Amino acid sequence: MAIRTAATRLGAAVAVAALAAVTAAASPALADGDGGHHGDHHAGHHRTYKGRVVANGGLNLRDAPTRGSRIVRWEPYGAIVPIFCKTGGQNVRGNYLWYLLTDGTWAWGSAKYIDNIGAAPRWC
């Protein structure tokens, strides 16, 4: 079990590092090309999505898409959160999807407790 947990965390850490690298590499193009408008056709692959926290006591956001990973921060019930993408992770009450949030900390939240506002996020 410990090996599986370590492998899951390592995989998630690599995914987050890769996403951060891609985002950092794209930043100059976004600044020069589209003025930072994430919804237009030039930067559609950089679009962020939104969700609302629906966990009654608020939601712990984590450094990997597992319930046992380190808590990065907490969001209260009703908070609107920016979502970068979704991935499969640990099952949370029948839901295997996790969202990568992008408001400066790159934290994961279980999709079980985040309702989409508008379009569902793309896959990571």
State the CATH number of the domain containing residue 78. Answer: 2.30.30.40
Q: How many domains does the chain have?
A: 1
Residues spanned by the domain of 37: 2-117
Q: Is residue 123 part of a domain?
A: no
Q: Is residue 94 part of a domain?
A: yes
- Look up the pTM and report it: 0.65
Using one digit for the tens of pLDDT, what is the confidence trace for 15-25? Answer: 444 444 333 33
What pLDDT was estimated at residue 8? 45
Q: Following DSSP, what letter does each residue of 15-78 receive, concatenated?
A: HHHHHHHHHHHHHHHHHHHTTT-TTSGGGGGG--EEEEE--TT-EEEESSSSTTSPEEEEE-TT
Using one digit for the tens of pLDDT, what is the confidence trace for 104-121? Answer: 789 999 999 999 999 999
Mean residue pLDDT of the chain comes to 75
Q: Is residue 124 part of a domain?
A: no
**Range with the lowest mean pLDDT among 20-24, 46-50, 82-86, 102-106?**
20-24
